Amino acid sequence: MSVAEPGLKKNYLTGLKEAIFEEFESDPNVIAIGEDIGFLGGAFGVTEGLKEKFGPDRVIDAPISEAAIVGVACGMCLNGKKAMVEMQFIDFISTGFDQIVNMTATYHYRTAGEVAINMVIRGPAGGYGGGALYHSQMNEAWFANSPGLKIVCPSTPADAKGLLKAAFRDPNPVMVYEMKELYRQNKISEVLKANDEALVPLGKGVVRREGEDVTIVTYGNNVYHCLQAADNLMSEGFSAEVIDIRSLVPLDEDIILESLKKTNRLVVVNEAPMTCGFAGEIVARMSDRAFDLLDAPPVRVTRLDTPVPWVKPLESFVLPSVNKITEAALRVCRY
């Protein structure tokens, strides 16, 4: 488990698992705390086998107390540990909110650099699975709005592994938004590197598809919707460049800027609600830095400003889709 077997394709969930096992192996100060992560191995099985291998002292089955989980982890980091907090679903992070934004995120600032909290907070996130209001959320904007936290959202098995490993090694609290709909999607499986070779730096985006006419910026599960939309655009005679930012905080603005120099058109896609969402942040930053480059008003494709409803017709109505992205990009291309 701890060493990646060469040549074998692994899924997203295995990428996360390998990251955790490798970091546990290489650093005895790494601990994990969360609900049902030990006996059960986590609601989705991300920590399956971890307690057996590293023992109950390092893999802590916590009571259902998100505030206590984050607070205890914070205290352990204060005293030399690196804590991985698992949120059973990222939706439930709201009950631990105060301990994250006021306690953990501010520690370095309020101690004038004396203390840094080496914490990873990770959990399954995102819609498209019929999870309904409380098992579908993307609430990254709450935390992007709380200085002191870093935020990543991997879309591939290699990034899941590499960004999670990087999160462990970063001395700051880092939040990892895992795409639970991608956990076991074997069609995106790929060969994974091991140990330091697997690291993916925080704050670096990646071009998933090159194109000339429009830049589509996205992250997470929406990467795949954007790639399909790019196929559709091709048949309409437009070539789209798709950028996966992977890290929200810090954000790789330069990779977007470089692309806009070529395309002069911007579409931003994410599955959080539009108002005060991270898509708006990207548009705002590009308006600041690239206003003169733009030949059309930038457009956002996001969730409607609603909760995520349960049944399929409702869920599809509110979330971004290949069609919605294609239509938006065509509008921008034909402006």
List, by residue number, the catalytic residues. 135
Which residue's CB atom is positioned nearest to ligand TPP?
92
CA–CA distance from 133 to each of 117, 141, 305, 317 (Å)? 31, 17, 13, 14
First-last CA distance in the chain: 52
DSSP structure class, residue 203? T
When the beta carbons of 36 and 327 are compared against ligand TPP, the nearer one is 36
When the beta carbons of 94 and 228 are compared against another protein, the nearer one is 94
When the beta carbons of 35 and 315 are compared against ligand TPP, the nearer one is 35
- Measuring CA to CA, which residue among 149, 174, 176 is closest to residue 12? 176
CA 219/CA 117 separation, integer angstroms: 26
Considering the rule CB under 6 A, would residue 139 count as an interface residue with ligand TPP?
A: no
- Contacted by 1, from another protein, ligand TPP, none: CB < 5 to 8 Å by type: none
**Is 27 within 8 Å of 77 (Cβ atoms)?**
no
Residue 9 β-bridge partners: 191
Q: Least CB distance from residue 73 to ligand TPP, whole Å? A: 16
Secondary structure class of 305 (helix, strand, coil): coil
When the beta carbons of 134 and 335 are compared against another protein, the nearer one is 134
Query: How does DSSP assign 143-181, residue by residue?
Result: HHTSTT-EEE---SHHHHHHHHHHHHHSSS-EEEEEETT
Secondary structure class of 248 (helix, strand, coil): strand
Question: Using the rule CB under 6 A, which residue among 47, 88, 218, 247 binds ligand TPP?
Answer: 88
Considering the rule CB under 6 A, would residue 92 count as an interface residue with ligand TPP?
A: yes
Output Rg (C-alpha) for the chain, integer angstroms.
20
- Contacted by 314, from ligand TPP, another protein, none: CB < 5 to 8 Å by type: another protein
Q: Least CB distance from residue 78 to ligand TPP, whole Å? A: 25
- Contacted by 133, from another protein, ligand TPP, none: CB < 5 to 8 Å by type: another protein
- Measuring CA to CA, which residue among 316, 235, 310, 312 is closest to residue 271? 316
Q: Least CB distance from residue 274 to another protein, whole Å? A: 12
Pairing of strands 82-86, 240-244: unpaired
For 129, half-sphere exposure in the C-beta direction (CA atoms, 13 angstrom radius) is 18
- Contacted by 306, from ligand TPP, another protein, none: CB < 5 to 8 Å by type: another protein
Q: Least CB distance from residue 314 to another protein, whole Å? A: 4
CA 130/CA 313 separation, integer angstroms: 10
Question: Using the rule CB under 6 A, which residue among 35, 140, 178, 181 binds ligand TPP?
Answer: 35
Which residue ranges make up the site for another protein (CB under 8 A)? 35-36, 39-41, 43, 61, 63-65, 67-68, 91-92, 94-95, 130, 132-135, 304-307, 309-311, 313-318
- Measuring CA to CA, which residue among 35, 222, 51 is closest to residue 123? 35
Question: Using the rule CB under 6 A, which residue among 95, 139, 185, 232 binds ligand TPP?
Answer: 95
Segment lying near ligand TPP (by CB under 6 A), choices 11-19, 88-96, 145-153, 303-311: 88-96
When the beta carbons of 8 and 64 are compared against ligand TPP, the nearer one is 64
When the beta carbons of 95 and 321 are compared against ligand TPP, the nearer one is 95
Question: Using the rule CB under 6 A, which residue among 3, 8, 64, 284 binds ligand TPP?
Answer: 64
**Is 255 within 8 Å of 246 (Cβ atoms)?**
no
**Is 62 within 8 Å of 34 (Cβ atoms)?**
yes
What residues line the site for ligand TPP (CB under 6 A)? 35, 64, 88, 92, 95
